[in-house]
Structure 1
């Protein structure tokens, strides 16, 4: 069950990346990210209010948000900071790079999660799973060669660095989720971390972006911004629910979620008309074959 939820999450995560790319084209990054946190918070706020005011309406459903102590809220607040760090780097990266480059880079993020899961949680992979991981690592090397054809130097391009930092923070978030979801209900984590992000991102917008807004790219409202939040919320809900299963493995869930690259790659080819698709398709094939081996290893 948890593996199917991971695949479901991956599909929605792919559309999330697509709408993010559409929203950020010639647009200010921080306001788009702030609105994303606002809409995500508004999606989950009713569940918080109903759970507190009329708990009997949601108590036996997946949408119930039980009360937790101050320590749990502190842990959730820390998650908000980690996730926002990843998002800030990731939003800037995807704005300035082809989505057919960003997607496969993000697809290698679970390799870092794998190392952390082995060291921290004692997770162990079988032969099929190791083959899947090695294929994902190989795809990153091949992708760097594809990027050179578009003048993108993986070593000296700062936006590649931004995407890499987003991946590192995202991996840290994934490992932290495995710990957090063992002591706090998934719906509590997802609801409250979205609420906390509004205040964190609002402060960043007020004190960093707003005073210098006339010096930077102006903000333009687009309806695709709303779809960022909708698809992300559904993807995260499936993800948190998957990790709530006792036998779930964060190394596998994280790797499967990177299957979102299929959706983003197709849109990059068909909608954004990006270049060098043949070589990038080979890179993508390595990722997909790796996903198949991971699936076999988990059966």
Structure 2
């Protein structure tokens, strides 16, 4: 009986561990994105990244449909209905909008500013989850959420000390809009994963992004008199690879019945820790001591949240 309870407790914690693992890969993904976008065409980097992700999923889709991958396989991608395809297409459109804003903000803002702003997404996700899904948190979790949100906010405000106006800088607003659409996507994920197979969601979501983005990129670039220069870098395919792993772990976490989207989103934003360390050690960004204090506050908030 005791062993059964311990196993059940471990199972109940699995979605939390998956969310934390996803955060690690998201952090690495953000770093690769910053490296790829340096003095590079945003639209072409995004198109190449989504294209690589789609290419990774096309073989398992074809092999699953042809019967070469059995339904019992972990990598099996089942056929879905037209209605489900439409639902995944909506997901792709929301995420693509978020990425367009966030890629531009990541290119023109310090990574230790852009990432923490995006990390405020759980604020909006939590509000939506409480209203739409009637999620309830314990008192300890509420304390953890409030502490983390407070330090995320102070972290984002640190940009003022670097001469970045949060009112007039358009790239700040791009980061904000990218964050809002990321929150909408997170709320939609809770509904989507309950109705559509998670592997089918991830596969077709990756493919539909290329379908939506490719015409936009070629249309915009064909009307430009002076096109932004595009440089191929190995960080570009790595963006797609790390994102696929992060999303796989994320969708897997949401597949658990007791998973709370508000908590999963919060833990996933712990990726800001990795981006901060890289910003300090590699990109040599400013105000690191003050930002380190805010980062410590984030860690405290996440710890309280996990204990709750």
Q: TM-score range by the shorter chain?
A: over 0.9
The yes-or-no answer on 1:157 pairing with 2:174 is no
Whole-Å Cα distance in 1 between the matches of residues 131 and 30 of structure 2? 30
Residue 255 of structure 1: which of 259, 266, 269 is its match? 266
Residue 305 of structure 2: which of 273, 294, 297 is its match? 294
The yes-or-no answer on 1:277 pairing with 2:288 is yes
Please state whether the residue corresponding to 1:123 is helix, strand or coil. Answer: coil
Aligned to 1:101: 113
- Please report how far the alpha carbon of residue 144 of structure 1 lies from its aligned counterpart in structure 2 after TM superposition: 4.3
- Check conservation: 2:117, 2:156, Cα contact below 8 A: no
Aligned to 1:166: 178
Residue 139 of structure 1: which of 151, 160, 179 is its match? 151
For this pair of structures, how many residues does the alignment match?
295
For 1:65-92, what per-residue CA distance to the aligned partner results, in whole angstroms no more than 9, with x for missing partners? Answer: 1111100000000000000000000000
Whole-Å Cα distance in 2 between the matches of residues 165 and 70 of structure 1? 30
Aligned to 2:32: 19
Aligned to 2:57: 44
Residue 240 of structure 2: which of 214, 218, 229 is its match? 229
Aligned Cα RMSD in Å?
Answer: 1.2
Whole-Å Cα distance in 2 between the matches of residues 248 and 206 of structure 1? 40
- Please report how far the alpha carbon of residue 216 of structure 1 lies from its aligned counterpart in structure 2 after TM superposition: 4.2
Structure 1 residues 165 and 241: alpha-carbon distance in aligned structure 2, compared to 1, 3 A threshold: same
For 1:212-254, what per-residue CA distance to the aligned partner results, in whole angstroms no more than 9, with x for missing partners? Answer: 1x52431111111010000000000000111011111100111
Runs ≥4 residues deviating over 3 A: none
- Please report how far the alpha carbon of residue 208 of structure 1 lies from its aligned counterpart in structure 2 after TM superposition: 1.1
Whole-Å Cα distance in 1 between the matches of residues 169 and 128 of structure 2? 27
- Please report how far the alpha carbon of residue 284 of structure 1 lies from its aligned counterpart in structure 2 after TM superposition: 1.6
Residue 211 of structure 1: which of 218, 223, 234 is its match? 223
Structure 1 residues 144 and 235: alpha-carbon distance in aligned structure 2, compared to 1, 3 A threshold: closer
The yes-or-no answer on 1:82 pairing with 2:94 is yes
Aligned to 1:202: 214
Whole-Å Cα distance in 1 between the matches of residues 306 and 92 of structure 2? 30
The yes-or-no answer on 1:121 pairing with 2:133 is yes
- Please report how far the alpha carbon of residue 143 of structure 1 lies from its aligned counterpart in structure 2 after TM superposition: 2.5
TM-score (norm: length of structure 2):
0.93
Aligned to 1:175: 187
Please state whether the residue corresponding to 2:52 is helix, strand or coil. Answer: helix
Whole-Å Cα distance in 1 between the matches of residues 295 and 168 of structure 2? 23
Please state whether the residue corresponding to 1:149 is helix, strand or coil. Answer: helix
For 1:136-165, what per-residue CA distance to the aligned partner results, in whole angstroms no more than 9, with x for missing partners? Answer: 221243224421111011122111111111
Per mean C-alpha deviation after superposition, the further-off stretch among 135-144 and 256-265 is: 135-144
Whole-Å Cα distance in 1 between the matches of residues 104 and 56 of structure 2? 25
Please state whether the residue corresponding to 2:162 is helix, strand or coil. Answer: coil
- Check conservation: 1:104, 1:283, Cα contact below 8 A: no
TM-score (norm: length of structure 1):
0.96
Structure 1 residues 15 and 135: alpha-carbon distance in aligned structure 2, compared to 1, 3 A threshold: same
Structure 1 residues 14 and 72: alpha-carbon distance in aligned structure 2, compared to 1, 3 A threshold: same
Structure 1 residues 275 and 58: alpha-carbon distance in aligned structure 2, compared to 1, 3 A threshold: farther
Residue 84 of structure 2: which of 72, 76, 82 is its match? 72
Please state whether the residue corresponding to 1:124 is helix, strand or coil. Answer: coil
